[in-house]
Structure 1
Amino acid sequence: MFIGTIQPLNPVAFELGPLTVYWYGLLIGLGALIGYLIANREAKKRGMPADMFADLLLFALPAAIVGARIYYVIFRWEQFAENPVRVFYIWEGGLAIHGGLIGALLTAYIYAKIKGLSFWKIADIAAPSIILGQAIGRWGNFVNQEVYGGEVSRSFLENLMLPDFIINQMYIQGAYHHPTFLYESVWNIIGFILLLWLRRVNLRRGELFISYAIWYSVGRFFIEGIRTDNLLIFDVIRTAQIVSIITVIGGIIILIYRRKTGLSASRYLDDGTTSKSNKQKRGKSKKKK
């Protein structure tokens, strides 16, 4: 492969008349859709109201996008100072996942309070969907040539057994770079599988979501150390690493506090089909006796 022939992928997925659809938005939307389908199916099993996640998504998704954009703009204002209208050009990239999570979680908390539902139960059900959506969404960053790390050689990327389309897309501004978008995507997929397994372990309420927060934050802390396009506090401290440390420590504290105070007495499967089936089995065994 001659370097001169390497061309970045087209960020435009397709055009319909005056409408231009970008891969970035398409992949984020795809992640949200798949996450919704998984969460909605699980919510029905756990005895939640029908279409609850459909209603919640109508509010949480816009809140997540707005939160993600505000968070990014706050720490990258120099990019928009001369032309503030570009703040609204989200198809060009620039959504911070931590801001998106804050927006979505606040919306879910308010929604749960209004509907008289358990926020922690909703969060537990949604946790695998969130991390899978993040894994898919990172590929939007890949198309936009964002979320990459320091310089590496082409041979380094080839030794990772990566296909050419990924290696070529990592050729940015005259050099090859770490595909940190891929590192995070793989980490999140592993986390998705782990959370599905933890569902069967039947953790106490809230602990599945806390496990997600800790898992994601640990991976993000180390991956952030490789990235070059960091959001910084005072132009020195990497924001995502600070948030990750706070999330891990805070998650452990909340987990211990909820156990000691009895706030997490209920378990994940208590209200679902598994608990019902177990009751039916126990009822049959009693009849046999």
Structure 2
Amino acid sequence: MFTDSHCHLNFPELAQDLPAIRAKMDEARVTRALCISCTMEEFPDVHALAMRYDNFWCSVGVHPDTEGLTEPSVQDLVERAALPRVVAIGETGLDYYGMEDRKGGRTIADLEWQRERFRTHIRAAQQVRKPLVIHTRSASDDTLRLLREEGETGGADAAGGVFHCFTESMEVARAALDLGFYISFSGIITFKKAQDLRDVAAFVPEDRLLIETDSPYLAPVPFRGKTNIPAYVPHVAAQIAEVRGISVEAVAEATNRNFDRLFSGVLS
């Protein structure tokens, strides 16, 4: 019934307990999941999950905040995107959060390597015609600018994709939608201080909505602070249903359709 469009089941805190996690998915009627790659080094493990289980798929990409590991070329991404059950490029994008604390006092100008990496992912996605899974944090202006500069404006040559774990403003949501992107909401939407985000969830057109957990992070209320798992994605759907004034079943049906449409008709 539900699809978790973004999770990290290869991370140690989840991989070691995968049979139990899958059992909980069944109990919660979470029938599908997209396993997301964050580094080239971990891609083989992520891909193995998609190959082992017929209700898992995966992406290939390098998270914008990753340093000191393999830097992919367009060809590196293209080759892996051609493998079975790889349906997306990412997660990719930009992350400027905590410049002084997390990035040693560097400036935004010093993060040109992030912007070049993002361009590489966009070009690979356009070449293989598979959608982008975009992470943007404290960097929405540059994220949107680079998408536009690389031709991601909804045309025939655009890859399109999804702004995952959306936490930005209504203005950014409008801009992403104008570029043809989907918007995915995580457990953050259930947090007490997330009213602005709930307003965005009420605004996004039904045919552009996705839901996710971003497991093992960001568990929704009433599990906040605990390790997140795909079985919790119905709580995200329930919050969206509440703010939109529709049933949880309607949210599940819409987000399943959208998942199929975005990721090239993945079978239910």
Structure 1 or 2: larger strand share? 2
TM-score by length of 2: 0.26
Bigger Rg over Cα: 1
